[in-house]
Chain A
Amino acid sequence: MDSARADILAARAHLQQQGWVARRSEAFHHLPPPQLAHWLGSAQEDACAAPVLGGSGWTLHPLGSHAASGIQARWLDAQDAAERAELFAGLPQPGDGEAAPFAWAHRALCRLGLRLRIGATPGKEREPVWLELRHQPRAQAEAPLLVLDVDPGVRCVLIETHERAEGDCLHPVAQNLHAHVRLGAGAQLQHLRIVSPGAADSVAHHIHASLAAGAQYAQALVATCGSYHLQRNSIALQGQGARAHSAALALAGSQQIDLQTYTQVQAAHTVSQAEALVLAQGRAHAVANAHTRIAPGCDEAGVRQRLMGVPLAGSPRLILRPHLEILHDNVQAAHGATWGALPEDALFYARQRGLDEACARALIIEGMARALLERCLGSEEEGLLAQWLQGGWLSRTIGTQLQASVEVQHG
């Protein structure tokens, strides 16, 4: 038996021994994930008679006119012993944390992964490296892997999209994705993630980010819902002066979404911000967790958590859980959660200027969404966010959700 096969069997054995995510688990008890068999594909075997899914896994694309020659990309086969060793090199073992069963299941199923190293473009060391990463599912149950290393001092701008390809079979997908983002000293990454699964898909994305001294990581997520949708960030601020800002916009519709951001503040003079805006309606069930732990000795660390839920129609369940664990005296920390309707004064203001109710609501909701994303990624006209917004996806998606909320309201 080769080492790849042995590794896979070991992961399966571990899962068999330790079991799946506990129902009492603090992180998952509000929205328990589907059982292990679902993620390993054993529950779906032979369920799909349609051709294999048309997606091609990870694909890398140039972004706009930005040429980037400082990128090294390796697609590696996790079932080949040598390539698996290279793919998983330097990654931590799944361990035994609350989300570890997902990581073990990932080890057991992962077939293909992408390792990306971002260095400066020769001759353009001061300019950011721009790239687009798309992922489309290749199998009904899959466990994609991404390892992204940004070299010290390099600035990178990345848009990562997850959408079902047109013409795909419509069978639901169970996707347990893990991405390891590692920023060298002084590296900067602006990371815009768009995750729009099919309505019947189950998605669990785990982003593990580690930041060396002076590194800066800004991650903005825009997520629509599937039958189960987990987005979990584990961010470790390991070096002095590191800064992380995560902002999640969840367009929950009438389905389920679970946003989790776990931040470990491990060094002095670090700054971490976690924000979420959840828009939900009908019988949606949405959870936003922000948990930050400030370790002893993290002098002058700054932490901010801001979670907001807006019910658009019906009786959605919105659970917002900001949580701070502070083990050092000299820090600044603030957190808050707001659950409520749209700002009435702004709505009336827009209506007094001639906008009908639906148009005013759409404008204000999109404004709230943009404001959240701009706080994270900036609002520069030539910036990543502005370029993406110009495509109109956000406006269209919010419009669709609002239309659905009107239908919910009118039964």
Chain B
Amino acid sequence: MNHTPPLLQVRDLRVNVGERTVLRSVSLDVPAGHLVVLMGANGSGKSTLGMALAGHPSYAVQGGQALLDGQDLLQMPAHERARAGLFVSFQSPPDVPGVKNNLFIRTALNAMHEARGQEPLDAFDFLASAKKAAKELGLPEAMLGRPVNEGFSGGERKRNELLQLSLLRPRLALLDEIDSGMDVDGVRAVVALVQKLRREGTAFVVVSHYLQMIEQLEPDAVLRLDQGCIAETGDLELARGIARTGFARARAQAVEA
């Protein structure tokens, strides 16, 4: 019997955005190397979960617990959560004017290195690995020299999130609708990268409505979030059912059951 605790443990997480309670009680476990798909209608709280775990100041945690490898995420400032191994991809990654992509990522990587007591990365070594990763993700090399996300299309922004994921190699990644705005090749790149990192032990929480990608990701669990609570837990069949009937029907069926 395996007694290793899950990498991510969330218990009864309750989160307010402004005056409104968006997450009422969310609990989930994600072991290392596992992949959980989170589905839910608009406004059900999927993005709120990611932002609350990441420590966004507008998302006020009212109660509950979130542990990453036993460390209390909720007690850490945002950057320490990232350094502990949490990566949250943004649904709409913002522009960072004037900051070149390669400088941004190298600064982030060096912050991680410094936190671990490691030497900073050599600029040339970093650039070589960044170019390689960009190529694998179908991101033009020129994007590395452009300001972060400035003038990027929706798909390019998402690929840029993948590039950061690939280079930062977190312990747990929450990907919020990473497929939106992506073309077919982009979705393939998501699947390939996720599979590769999973083999290396990275755990994933993937927010998506795109069944074809969900199937390719071969999730260990599929969760349906409804009105701030985990309403259903299942496997790929749950995702297929939602894709077939929609969230309203799924909600009604769950109530009947």
Interface centre among A345, A353, A360, A371 (most CB of B within 10 A): A353
Report the minimum CB–CB distance from B187 to chain A (whole Å): 23
Interface residues of A in 362-380 (CB under 8 A from B): 363-364, 366-372, 374
B98 CB-CB contact with A under 8 Å: yes
State which of B54, B87, B104, B147 has its C-beta within 8 Å of the C-beta of A350: B104
Once the chains bind, are B57 and A353 in contact (CB under 8 Å)? no
B164 CB-CB contact with A under 8 Å: yes
Once the chains bind, are A353 and B164 in contact (CB under 8 Å)? yes
State which of B57, B97, B147 has its C-beta within 8 Å of the C-beta of A348: B57
Interface flags for A344-367 (1: CB within 8 Å of B; 0: not) read 111011111111110110011011
On whether A363 and B97 interact (CB within 8 A), knowing A348-B56, A351-B82, the answer reads no
Residues of B within 8 A of A353 (CB): 82, 104-105, 108, 111, 164, 168
Once the chains bind, are A367 and B79 in contact (CB under 8 Å)? no
A411 CB-CB contact with B under 8 Å: no
Once the chains bind, are B95 and A348 in contact (CB under 8 Å)? no
Interface residues of B in 101-130 (CB under 8 A from A): 103-105, 107-108, 111-112, 115
Tell me the bound Cα distance from A361 to B88 in angstroms: 20
State which of A346, A366, A369 has its C-beta within 8 Å of the C-beta of B94: A346
Which bracket fits the contact residues of A?
Answer: 20 to 34
Once the chains bind, are B104 and A354 in contact (CB under 8 Å)? no
Report the minimum CB–CB distance from B86 to chain A (whole Å): 8
A343 CB-CB contact with B under 8 Å: yes
B17 CB-CB contact with A under 8 Å: no
Residues of B within 8 A of A344 (CB): 57
Which bracket fits the contact residues of B?
Answer: 20 to 34
Interface flags for A145-164 (1: CB within 8 Å of B; 0: not) read 00000000000000000000
Interface flags for B71-98 (1: CB within 8 Å of A; 0: not) read 0000001110111000110100111111
Interface flags for B41-84 (1: CB within 8 Å of A; 0: not) read 00000000000001111000000000000000000011101110
Interface residues of B in 142-175 (CB under 8 A from A): 147, 164, 168
Interface residues of A in 50-76 (CB under 8 A from B): none
State which of B57, B107, B147 has its C-beta within 8 Å of the C-beta of A355: B107
Tell me the bound Cα distance from A368 to B93 in angstroms: 17
B28 CB-CB contact with A under 8 Å: no
10 A–B contacts, CB within 8 A, in A order: A343-B94, A346-B94, A348-B57, A349-B94, A350-B104, A351-B79, A353-B111, A354-B112, A367-B97, A368-B98
